[in-house]
């Protein structure tokens, strides 16, 4: 797999770490449980499965919401709403395809949130997530936060179909087949989008670097 340009000083794994928040799972599980439909005879197994779904995927949903351009507070809200939807439709989710369901739901809810902003609200945000490292050095923390902000700027300048393909493939580690199944499109279309997204990413990052250095007006 050809990875992104790491000249920003950040690796995909570091992006995931930089985008992590303090765990929300306890509160979110409580909210999800409160929204559950009446328990079925197999209630114990269902509750355990739902709790595991939240535990395994909450951070993924939150990161995806952030990559869609949502500020941290909105990403929190979207992540919780997605998990409530997953609770209500838990029995309809095909085993092994949980993340595909969560991806589609996050995309749908995230787009609704962005549309609700109206034209007066700026999509790009300088708000940065909390650093997950236990005791990072000030300079190291600042460099990582700047790198994540730069990555976020570049991603937000990409068309949404290219951005989601790049995020899922390069940052989340999905295969082309998994992305194709989640989006309901041919695998060769996903491969084409990833190639185009890489070119767009490199071109945009170079332009942004020049602007940040003051080489362009």
Report pLDDT digits (tens) over 97-150: 899 999 999 999 998 888 887 654 544 444 444 444 445 556 666 666 676 677
- Is 16 within a domain? no
Q: Tell whether 95 and 189 lie within a shared domain.
A: no
The CATH number of residue 198's host domain is 1.10.10.10
Domain end position, chosen among 97, 128, 159:
128
- The domain of 145 spans 1-11+136-217
Q: Which of 178, 195, 202, 143 is nearest to 60 (CA)?
A: 178
Choosing from 128, 146, 179, the residue where a domain stops is 128
Helix 187-212 to helix 176-183 angle (10° resolution) is 100
Q: Alpha-carbon distance 135 to 129, whole Å?
A: 15
Q: Which of 128, 162, 197 is at the close of a domain?
A: 128
Residue 6 domain-assigned (yes or no):
yes
Tens place of pLDDT per residue across the chain (217 aa): 555 554 444 445 444 444 445 555 556 656 665 555 544 445 568 888 899 999 999 999 999 998 888 888 899 999 999 999 999 999 999 888 899 999 999 999 998 888 887 654 544 444 444 444 445 556 666 666 676 677 778 888 889 899 999 999 998 899 999 999 999 999 999 999 999 999 998 888 887 666 655 544 4
Say if residues 187 and 176 touch (Cβ distance below 8 Å): yes
Q: Are residues 140 and 124 in the same domain?
A: no
Residues 119 and 26 in one domain: yes
pTM: 0.63
Both 124 and 188 in a single domain?
Answer: no
């Amino acid at each position: 797999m050809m990875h992104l340009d790491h000249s920003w000083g950040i690796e995909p794994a570091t992006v995931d770490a930089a985008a992590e928040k303090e765990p929300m799972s306890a509160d979110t599980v409580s909210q999800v449980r409160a929204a559950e439909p009446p328990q079925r005879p197999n209630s114990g197994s269902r509750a355990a499965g739902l709790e595991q779904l939240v535990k395994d995927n909450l951070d993924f949903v939150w990161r995806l919401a952030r990559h869609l351009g949502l500020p941290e507070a909105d990403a929190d809200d979207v992540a919780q709403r997605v998990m409530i939807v997953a609770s209500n439709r838990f029995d309809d989710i095909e085993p092994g395809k949980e993340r595909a369901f969560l991806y589609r739901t996050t995309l749908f809810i995230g787009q609704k949130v962005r549309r609700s902003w109206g034209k007066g609200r700026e999509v790009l945000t300088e708000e940065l997530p909390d650093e997950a490292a236990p005791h990072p050095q000030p300079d190291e923390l600042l460099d990582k936060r700047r790198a994540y902000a730069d990555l976020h700027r570049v991603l937000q300048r990409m068309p949404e179909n290219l951005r989601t393909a790049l995020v899922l493939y390069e940052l989340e580690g999905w295969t082309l087949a998994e992305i194709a199944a989640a989006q309901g499109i041919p695998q060769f279309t996903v491969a084409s989008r990833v190639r185009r997204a890489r070119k767009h990413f490199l071109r945009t990052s170079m332009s942004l670097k020049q602007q940040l250095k003051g080489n362009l007006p």
